[in-house]
Amino acid sequence: MDSRLANTWRPTVNEKKFIETALASNLRIDDYNRKPIEYRQLTINFGREDGSSEVQLGHTRVMCFVSSQLVQPYRERPNEGTMSIFTEFSPMADPSFELGSPGEAAIELGRMIDRGLRGSRAVDMESLCVLAGKLVWAIRIDLHILDNGGNLIDAANVAALAALLTFRRPECSLGGENGQEVVVHPPEVKDPLPLIVHHLPIAVTFGFFSTENTMVLDPTHSEEAVMAGRMTVTVNASGGICAIQKAGGVGVPQREIMRCLRLASQRAGLITKTIKDAVEVFNKERASRKIKRHSTSVAATVSVEDGITSLREGPHRQEKSNSNAEQTSEDSDSDVVTMQEKLSSEDVKPPTLLTDLAEPEEQQTSRVKKTTKDAVKSKKARTRGERRRAPT
């Protein structure tokens, strides 16, 4: 067996004999009461950010993060982007893992996943080209082993595929005077773009034992310490073989290899469906989060770029919000116009000054004479009334 990915745990003679005896009776010592060709339960979870996933295969847990940056392309491939895989084995996952630089096991795990992805050209690398010969997108896949329960290859492969399907890279455009200036648009201005994935290469691992040519699917941590050989078959849902890895260990007859290929093809279809279903649920939740976020920000945003972005991210709800905003704007504009027309139509008099209140001299003289006559008349009337009331 290849020592680079071999289990460093060494069981006792009795433990080894117990595992081999159980396998000879088509029994496996795990928590799932599986048959030799049965798979453990596969669970896929996603983070809130794009390009992050966590996969649990039995007791094996792997986390994956996908990121990107603009770099110069290779000279031999000026029109293609790049992809690199980095793995981290934490001592928390297995006591045999050590801190520091990646060991042989971590390097070999990354190579096996990279062979299935890049060898089969599952990801369209030409779509990652921004400016031929000058700038391309470099995709980085970081795998973190959280718990080693056996069969790290299959779990890490599913985690990488799930993260790639949910990853979004920023959209770019060319500008400047000569059209050679690259402008990277933030997600608030233009929607990020997903990667173009043609198919999903699924890794399926088999374990071989020296006793009675026993073969198991999806070996556990304890079975890896006992088995004498390993073979990993990478196939897609249509049955296309992407890669086969068989390094060292016991020999496997051709008839057994063909059987493994048939089993791997069946298992690849089921795993592909599981990944796509999980990604579809994540995309729906992502779309709902975007609609809620932009529906509250449209009212407070007046920039054209944000309005266009919100229309693209949530067409139905955002069109309604934008129509309401436009109607509100039209109503306010009409109110302003109506008020202006009203003010212009009315005969608004200027404020009266004290100088305007002053009367001419002739009007003042006539008014004084009239007031004096009225006072004399009222005095005579009072005098007559008193004489009449006086006793004779």
Closest Cα to residue 164, out of 199, 130, 207, 119? 199
Question: Is the pLDDT assigned to residue 349 strictly greater than 80?
Answer: no
Task: State the pLDDT confidence band at 377, using cuts at 50, 70 and 90.
Answer: low
Task: State the pLDDT confidence band at 210, using cuts at 50, 70 and 90.
Answer: confident
Q: What does the DSSP assignment read for 155-181?
A: HHHHHHHHHHHH-EEPPEEEESSSS-E
Q: What is the pLDDT of residue 175?
A: 80
Better-predicted residue by pLDDT, 127 or 251? 127
Q: What is the mean predicted confidence (pLDDT) over 183-210?
A: 91
Q: What is the pLDDT of residue 81?
A: 94
Q: What is the mean predicted confidence (pLDDT) over 56-79?
A: 94
Task: State the pLDDT confidence band at 390, using cuts at 50, 70 and 90.
Answer: low
Question: Is the pLDDT assigned to residue 226 strictly greater than 60?
Answer: yes
Q: What is the pLDDT of residue 178?
A: 77
Q: pTM here?
A: 0.71
Task: State the pLDDT confidence band at 379, using cuts at 50, 70 and 90.
Answer: low
Q: What is the mean predicted confidence (pLDDT) over 105-110?
A: 88
User: CA-to-CA distance for 392 and 373, rounded, in angstroms?
Assistant: 31
Contact 200, 223 (CB under 8 A): no
User: Which of 24-38, 60-74, 88-102, 323-337 is predicted least confidently?
Assistant: 323-337
Over residues 154-164, the pLDDT tens digits come to 999 999 999 99
Over residues 39-63, the pLDDT tens digits come to 999 999 999 889 999 999 999 999 9
**Domains plus CATH for the chain?**
13-286 (3.30.230.70)
Q: What is the mean predicted confidence (pLDDT) over 78-97?
A: 86
Q: What is the mean predicted confidence (pLDDT) over 127-142?
A: 93
**What does each C-alpha distance from 179 to 130, 147, 182, 305 come to in angstroms?**
12, 49, 8, 22
For 130, residues 6+ apart whose C-beta sits below 8 A from its C-beta are 70, 136, 137, 172, 182
